Amino acid sequence: MRTPIIAGNWKMNKNPKETQEFLDGIKGKLAESGVEAIIGAPAIDLSTLVAGAEGSPLKTAAENSYFEDEGAFTGETSPKALSEMGLDYVIIGHSERRQYFKETDEDINKKAHAILKNNMLPIICCGETLEQREAGKAEEWVTGQIENAVKGISAADLVKSVIAYEPIWAIGTGKTATADQAQEMAHVIREKIASLYDQDTADKVRILYGGSVKPANVKELMAKEDIDGGLVGGASMDPESFLALVNYQN
Ligand code: 13P
């Protein structure tokens, strides 16, 4: 009953021309997979992305936004403006933003509220470091991140939102968490949502796995009960690879 998602996160890659080339590469090839296909692109590429996605099943995501709609915040991106441009989703709390740009759980919670208020949906990222995993602290850390991120969000809003579990040690390293490790944490996250809300809400929210997802391992990950999709960096940048991910069932 949960529609699967394949969401690309291009990170700080591609310019508008390369974005258009990607869109040309997937044009007319997305229909009928039963999978919700999303591309998250840098702010500078979003006009091209939204224009190219129009009239196609492709959904669009920004990789970040600020939590205020407008004002004296030099260099930030307004969630209101993103919504007016036609963006569907905003990725928030990615480990790279937490690590390099010092985003806190509180920032991420404010961003989630701002995104929902502006009629877009957050893709809320969480994940532990290798150190935390080895110390047996991964579950406590990740469920804490989720609890803080969803504070004050209604069940009605949460069921439309997306959670992405991305163990930091698996991002861009080629080291995928095993499908069992990914499933285990996705299940823990769903149980946390059930305890914070209720079982019905937990059963509806979509939980993605991210970290070295590629066409060769996507099927095994997607077969797991609590994994509803992938948040994909490297393997989402090439049209053929992205299409292979979206069509993982074939
Ligand atoms: P890779 O798929 O390149 O490991 O990146 C994962 C990621 O961080 C997606 O948000």
pLDDT, position 157: 98
Mutate to test the pocket of ligand 1, among 6, 9, 12, 128 (most ligand atoms within 8 A of CB): 9
Place of tokens 């504070």: 151
Distance of CA 9 from the midpoint of ligand 1 (Å) = 7
Segment 24-38, tens digit of pLDDT = 999 999 977 799 999
pLDDT, position 194: 98
> What pTM, to 2 d.p., does this model score?
0.97
So where are the chain's domains?
A: 5-10+57-246
Residue 237 contacts residue 40 (beta carbons within 8 Å): no
β partners of residue 232:
8
Tell me: domain 5-10+57-246, CATH 3.40.50.920, correct?
no
Q: How far apart are CA 20 and CA 24, in angstroms?
A: 6
Q: How far apart are CA 228 and CA 230, in angstroms?
A: 7
Would you list which residues are annotated within the binding site for substrate?
9-11, 172, 212, 233-234
| Nearest by Cα to 238 from 212, 214, 208 | 214
pLDDT, position 174: 79
Q: What's the average model confidence in pLDDT over 211-218?
A: 96
Decide whether any atom of ligand 1 lies within 6 Å of the 233 Cβ. Answer: yes
